[in-house]
Amino acid sequence: MQVKTANSLRGFVDDEHIRHLDPLDFDIRLPSLWEANAAGDVRALLAILNDILPSLETTKAMSLPESVATIRDLGIVMGSVKRHGVEPVVAIPELEAPLRAIGERTGMIPRDTIHHYIRWNPTGRRERMYTGEPMEKLLMASVRISLPRLSAAVDVCTALHTAEAGDLDFALAANELAALVGAMEDSIDTVIADVTPEFFARTIRPYFEDIRIGEDTFLGPAAAHVPLALVDLLLWASDHSDSEYLKFVHESAIYGLEHWRPLYQEWGNAPSLAARVIGALERGPKGEVPLAMHASVEALCRTLRSLMVFRGKHLTVARKAYADEVRLYELGSGGGSIGLLTNITSLVKGMWHMLRGPAPRNTRSAT
């Protein structure tokens, strides 16, 4: 019998239910995890991992929510083991079969992702963290601002992809997109206010290292894997990006939800929303711009402006965290470089200027 994965994770799993689950009795082990990480005690971490490791038979009998919660809890310990220089699956080969079985069951990679670390992670005293430190909790809170809104933005983009550029339905959805993407500004402001570059670079970043599972290597639960790149792709990047960023976008696809993956190919081969609106403006009659078209342009411009502000602040934070005297790694936890961030920021700014150019200001009709 074929197991439904994408549809289940998309529509039939209660996120709050997953957060309440503790299928590996991991709640009582959290203080021990934090103590072991603080001490760099790999033996203690491996003991925790061995204690909570379910058998292959047990994982096959789990419900979908239990499978998600299991990967969440195994992942926080695996990331801890790797942070201290040991490949968890090499140290405990029995991990591989349950990890792969759960990955197949959920339609996701066979380790934890940003969705497990944030979306399906309980808050309060049960919150799964690597360090237990307040600054880690604040960093996680910043991603909780953006992740659900960007996930909703993907759904809005799906509607925009099939709507006629300049129609009222397009304008309404574009305004909704602008509001959702605007949350990225709040998210990065929280990081700037509450998390020091040194804490991220030296304390948290090492926990997001990739791990090997058999012949495959998978990155950790990086915030770079929120679906912003997918929104970028439809909004502007499908036809106004460069090969470096498009490569990053498509390599990020495996770290998202299964039902999003076909969208990377579909939207990557389609004209962007920005290009469609510019084309509609250029084909339209000269003079007054219809209200729905005006609203569409303004909403996309606001969306791009939010991305410009976010990218600019993110670039500033990243430069501090990856400065020579601070950094432990050349690349970000999602695999991107400072050069890539700089280029994306420039591309978004150029797209914003391009979109504002064709539309006459303050000339709109009610039709």
Same fold, 6-126 and 134-365: yes
CA–CA distances in Å: residue 267 to residues 33, 120, 250, 254, 260: 42, 27, 11, 16, 11
What is the enclosing helix (H) or strand (E) of 217?
Answer: strand 216-218
Helices then strands, each counted (H, E), the chain: 20, 4
Q: State the pLDDT at residue 356.
A: 86
Longest CA–CA span in the chain (Å) reads: 73
CATH 1.20.58.480 holds for 134-365: yes
Say how many CA atoms lie within 13 Å of 44 toward its Cβ.
Answer: 13
First to last CA, the chain: 53
Task: Say if CB 272 and CB 245 are below 8 A apart.
Answer: no
Q: Helix, strand, coil: what percent of the chain each, to 5?
A: 70, 5, 30
Q: Judge whether 170 and 294 are in contact, CB under 8 Å.
A: no
Residue 85 region, left (φ>0) first, then alpha (ψ -120 to 50), else beta? left
pLDDT of residue 359: 53
CA distance 254 to 91: 25
Going from N- to C-terminal start, the domains of the chain cover 6-126, 134-365
Q: What's the confidence (pLDDT) of residue 7?
A: 39
Domain covering 6-126, topology: Methane Monooxygenase Hydroxylase; Chain G, domain 1 (1.20.58)
Q: pLDDT of the chain along its 367 residues, tens only?
A: 232 333 345 545 689 999 999 999 999 999 999 999 999 999 999 999 999 999 999 999 999 999 999 999 999 999 999 999 999 999 999 999 999 999 999 999 999 999 999 999 999 999 999 999 999 999 999 999 999 999 999 999 999 999 999 899 999 999 999 999 999 999 999 999 999 999 999 999 999 999 999 999 999 999 999 999 999 999 999 999 999 999 999 999 999 999 999 999 999 999 999 999 999 998 887 778 899 999 999 999 999 999 999 999 999 999 999 888 887 878 788 888 999 999 999 999 999 999 987 555 445 555 5
Report the distance separating Cα 21 and Cα 31, nearest Å. Answer: 18
Q: According to the model, what pLDDT value does residue 363 have?
A: 52
Q: CA 68, CA 13: separation in Å to the nearest integer?
A: 10
pLDDT of residue 4: 35
The reported pLDDT for the residue numbered 211 is 98
Q: Residue 212 carries which DSSP code?
A: E
Other CB atoms within 10 A of residue 310 CB: 23
DSSP 185-199: HHHHHHHHHH--HHI
Predicted confidence at residue 158, as pLDDT, reads 97
Prediction pTM value:
0.92
Tokens representing 58 are 């047990």
